[in-house]
Amino acid sequence: MSTSANEPRDPQAIRISNVCKSYGQYKVLKDISAEVSRGEVVVICGPSGSGKSTLIRTVNRLEEINSGSISFNGHDIHAPMRTKELNLLRSRIGFVFQNFNLFPHLSVLDNIAMSPIRVKGVPAAEARAKAVKLLERVGLADKQNAYPGQLSGGQQQRVAIARALAMEPPVMLFDEPTSALDPEMVGEVLSVMKSLASEGMTMLCVTHEMGFARDVADRIWFIDAGQILETATPDEFFKNPQHPRAQRFLADLRH
Amino acid sequence: MITDLIAIIRDYWLLLLIGQYPNGPLGGLANTLILSALSIALAFPVSILLALARLSKWTPLRWPVTMLVYVTRGVPLLMLILWCYFVVPLVTGTDVPSFVIMLTTLVVYQGAFLSEVVRAGIVSLGHGQMDAARALGHSYLGAMRFVILPQALYNMIPSILSTFVSTIKDTTLGYVINVPDLTFAASQVNNQLLTQPFQVFLILALVYYALCWSLTHVANRIERRIARRRAGTVSATISETAQATKMITEQP
């Protein structure tokens, strides 16, 4: 994936250091530190309310943090900076939402082409041609002129992934991308994610799909009550979880 | 009765249409239309700015605008007109034409009302759309312009429309500060005839009704066309019926 020439050479794509966040008295994230290397696929799992979504939303600063730092390719995302700079950084971090959040007033093609045109200043014809290619890649070439409301959930999420890819981000974040889908549509979205991973994309995914975690992830972060309790390869994590909370979580999943 | 109406229109149509013009100021229906069109054209962008200011995180911007909107909405329009009429010349020290006073008052008043409609449209979209736009690297204003406002304004077309229609009706209040509009012309006609107030003001009512009804009608058609385009070819018929029902229930 493209990275600009003047990028500081931090070997880690994402470096989370001592991040704390609270809503009033309630501590959501408690001193979290972790890294994602270039090309690595990390799956964050854990029970609901554990802070998974909040954590992933702090990585592109959709949520602010109270202390600590998060660097993306060596840039401190939460440092005081001009909004222009932040927008530029954000444009280089792909984000896929649980509820797709496609723009319902735009056609599928315009959903994908709009941001390259408006944010990066890519000529419209070029952006559209690229959007068509991306649609082919997610298997929706025939839906260019459809509106999001005419698509199934699985199709919408695939368009959302294509939309994020259109900005050519070196890193993709997924916030429970399959949780809002009917069971029969989960597979089509996961297979797009799998092919992305196999192309070497750096990915950080919050998901409950343990099959995906087992097959695709390089590492798993198990998070509960705002802390990363365990970091392990899928093999270690599923066969021999160390933390008692992780053991209980996996036991509950098997029932 | 009908013959009376026809006779009045035959004798006074020019006065009702353009007032004293060219021997005096432009008035009548022409002036009503100009005043309405200008009010709407100015109040609409003003309302978007007011709505954005009210949603701003920046307190020195949000508070005064919120105050302005609350006060304007809490005061009868007639009072606002009279207040402007007496206060503005005191402040400026010059003689401001009543047309300009009426226009300013309408822009502020309808701008405040419309801003609440626009704000509701923006808020009702939820955070997801803004989050998605920001995550793609759009600036706040870019997200507003390309993602939020097109949806918010579209969703609010019926309410925006009824505010436009009520703006047209509100121009009649210019009568109290002698804005030479259609109502003013009609009352001149009535003063000359003396014996036919019912007929004169019936004509007035019919003209206003035709004006407001046709605006509603045109906008309904525009909205249905947008809906059809947005729904594509598959679900066009279903959503069109849905739109139609919505329009009937929300007609002003």
pLDDT 10s digits, A201-237: 999 999 999 999 999 999 999 999 999 999 999 999 9
A93 vs B: CB within 8 A: yes
Q: What is the pLDDT of residue B160?
A: 87
**CATH number reported for the structural domain that contains residue B46 in this entry:** 1.10.3720.10
- DSSP per-residue codes, B132-151: HHHHTT--HHHHIIIIIHHH
**What are all long-range contacts of B38-41, with beta carbons under 8 Å and residues at least 24 apart?**
B38/B103, B39/B103, B39/B106, B39/B107, B39/B110, B39/B167, B39/B171, B40/B110, B40/B164, B40/B167
- Residue range A105-155, pLDDT digits in tens: 999 999 999 999 999 999 999 999 999 999 999 999 999 999 999 999 999
B-chain residues near A101 (CB < 8 A): 128-129, 131-132
Task: Tell me what pLDDT residue B230 has.
Answer: 64
Rg over alpha carbons for chain B, rounded to the nearest Å, is 22
pLDDT at position A12 over 90: no
The dihedral sign for the CA sequence A209, A215, A216, A221: positive
ipTM of the complex: 0.91
**pLDDT attached to residue B233:** 42
Kindly report, residue by residue over A25-48, the tens digit of the pLDDT. 999 999 999 999 999 999 999 998
Over the stretch B2-14, which tens digit does the pLDDT of each residue have? 898 898 889 899 8
Distance from CA of B237 to the nearest CA of A (A): 14
Q: Tokens representing A171?
A: 């890193």
- The three-state (H, E, C) secondary structure of A137-158, written as one string: HCCCHHHCCCCHHHCCHHHHHH
Euclidean distance between CA atoms B208 and B175, whole angstroms: 15
Instruction: Give the A:B interface size as CB pairs under 8 Å.
Output: 74
Residues of chain B with pLDDT under 70: 229-252
- pTM score: 0.85
As a 3-state breakdown, chain A gives helix, strand, coil percent values, each rounded to 5, of 40, 25, 35
pLDDT tens string A63-79: 999 999 999 999 999 99
Contact B135 A87 (CB under 8 A): no
Q: How much is the pLDDT for A253? A: 84
Please count the structural domains in chain B: 1
Query: Please, are residues B40 and B33 in contact by the beta-carbon 8 Å criterion?
Result: no
Tell me, what's the pLDDT at B41?
A: 94
pLDDT tens profile A170-185: 999 999 999 999 999 9
Query: Nearest Cβ partner of A99 from B128, B136, B147?
Result: B128
Q: How far apart are CA A175 and CA A206, in angstroms?
A: 5
Q: Which residues of B touch A92 (CB under 8 A)?
A: 137
Could you give the C-alpha distances from B30 to A166, B4, B19, in angstroms and in order? 52, 24, 8
Whole-number average pLDDT of chain A: 93
Structural domain that includes position B19: 2-250
What integer pLDDT is reported at residue B1 of this predicted model?
Answer: 80
